[in-house]
Amino acid sequence: MRKLLLLLFGVFMFSTNCIYDLQGKMLKQIPVTSGMTSVTAYSQELGNGIFLCSLNANGKEIETKRIVISK
């Protein structure tokens, strides 16, 4: 079982880490609480492909990174 470790910087209250496909469909939403430095997602939940991981805090997008999964 392969894990994706997503590092978080500057987490605020009411944060979420969302994973999207390239068509913009949200595939996974992970709640983030203050003090967390990382979250884990499993690659088999997503499959192969390119995904966007977005950190959102207080209703605003803070940062988005591209993730490539190849098995």
* Residue 4 pLDDT: 59
* Residue 50 pLDDT: 94
Q: What are phi and psi of 43, to 5 degrees?
A: -65, -30
What residue spans define the domains of the chain?
3-69
* Residue 25 pLDDT: 96
With a cut of 70, list the residues of the chain below it in pLDDT.
1-14
* Residue 52 pLDDT: 93
* Residue 30 pLDDT: 86
Query: What CATH number belongs to 3-69?
Result: 2.60.40.3580
pLDDT in tens, 27-44: 998 888 777 777 777 788
